[in-house]
Amino acid sequence: MLNFLLRRLATLLPTLIGVTLVAFGLIRLVPGDPIAIMMGERALDDATHARLMHELGLDQPLWRQYADYVGGLLHGDLGRSLVSHEPVSHEFLALFPATAELALFALLLAIVLGMALGTGAALRRGSLLDQGVMGVATVGYSMPVFWWGLILIMFFSVGLGWTPVSGRIAVEYDVQRVTGFMLVDAAFHDEPGAWRSALRHLLLPALVLGTSTTAVIARMTRSSLLEVLREDYMRSARARGLSPARVVLVHGLRNALIPVITVIGLKVGSLLAGAVLTETIFSWPGIGKWLIDAIARRDYPVVQAGILISACTFIAVNLLVDLLYGVVNPRIRKQG
């Protein structure tokens, strides 16, 4: 297993270097004088201009700039925001749990819902339930995230008044930040109702973000379970007199899991991209909204860091999925 991990890490190195090159190049590729672009309308005298050039290291030769940049990254230095003048890494650490909570909850929702729907459809193949689930899944897969969010807000928040429109928790709760996961922190908060409020804030954004993943997982679970149900070991499990539920849940789903895990890995990218849109709709204070706001404010160090972090998250999660894949299917970690 360790060998497998090391091999995978070695193939990732060129990709990681490439990603730092992209993030590094981002500021420098913007046409025109970078300082003037960052400052926008604000007028600059030559001294400030030179100071900023020096502060950002833009007066150094390119290779030196890159070396400094990577050196800084290795020390956890992501630069400073041009707007708040805070270290980017501080802002990132403050916001990352919000995105992680949203994405994980969305993924959890998608896995539970998707596998339940897919299993139901596979067991009642050809029935109305099957057709319904597959129809809904096809629509869900094609759904524009941002519009779906607006529609759900319209229905649940504005129409029924069930869920709040934005934010992570109602303003009256002053939850102390420990883990950064609002659901966890609110659970340990003594004011009654804090946890419920956090959950109600999280539910709709997570549902929106998880929709297309739910659809794909449902489709994948159905087709791979249908394949597994035909296998001999399933017949022998039934012949041994195991209960139908045990046959399907233990023997069937376990073996149908591998393609489902692959799909989850593939969908992580769309979860990250979807987070940008979902956070914008629900004013969710996470990395995605941070990135979009930074672009609007031309806060390039933040954009740079946001892109770099998203790419690294994506790479890391894919690695995790690969490892999980090896755990579920021992054949994979044996081969080169």
Partner 1 sequence: MSPPRDMNAMPATTAPPQASAPPGPFAEFWRGFSANRGALVALVVFTVLALAALLAPWIAPHDPVRQYREAMLTPPIWMDGGQARFLLGTDELGRDLLSRLLHGARVSLGIGLASVVLSLIPGVLLGLLAAFHQRLLAPVVMRVMDVMLALPGLLLAICVITVLGPGLTNTVIAIAIGSLPEYVRLTRAAALAELGKDYVTASRVAGASTRRLMFSAVLPNCLAPLIVNASLSFSAAILEAAGLGFLGLGVQAPTAEWGTMLSSARDYIVRAPWVVTLPGLAILLSVLSVNLMGDGLRDALDPRLKRAS
Q: What is the contact surface with partner 1 in residues (CB under 8 A)?
A: 14-15, 18-19, 21-22, 26, 29-31, 138-139, 141-148, 150-151, 153-154, 158, 268-270, 272-273, 276-277, 280-281, 291-292, 295-296, 300, 303, 307, 310-311, 314-315
Q: Which residue number, 220 or 276, has a Cβ lying nearer to partner 1? A: 276
Q: Which residue number, 76 or 159, has a Cβ lying nearer to partner 1? A: 159
Backbone φ and ψ of 193, nearest 5°: 90, -10
CB of 142 to partner 1, least distance (A): 4
Tell me if residue 19 falls in helix, strand or coil: helix
138 touches 283 (CB < 8 A): no
Give 87's strand partners. 80
Backbone φ and ψ of 80, nearest 5°: -115, 145
CB of 35 to partner 1, least distance (A): 16
CB of 137 to partner 1, least distance (A): 11
Q: Which residue number, 212 or 224, has a Cβ lying nearer to partner 1? A: 212
Rounded distance between C-alpha atoms, residue 104 and residue 246, angstroms: 28
Q: Which residue number, 129 or 273, has a Cβ lying nearer to partner 1? A: 273
Amino acid at site 115: M
Q: What is the dihedral of CA 122, 127, 129, 134, to 10 degrees?
A: 60
Nearest to 219 by CA among 91, 65, 110, 69: 110
Q: Which residue number, 150 or 249, has a Cβ lying nearer to partner 1? A: 150
CB of 265 to partner 1, least distance (A): 12
End-to-end CA distance of the chain: 12
CB of 145 to partner 1, least distance (A): 7
CB of 20 to partner 1, least distance (A): 10
Tell me if residue 61 falls in helix, strand or coil: coil
Buried b (16+ CB within 10 A) or exposed e, 153-163: beebbeeeeeb
Q: What is the dihedral of CA 220, 224, 226, 232, to 10 degrees?
A: -170
Q: Which residue number, 142 or 335, has a Cβ lying nearer to partner 1? A: 142
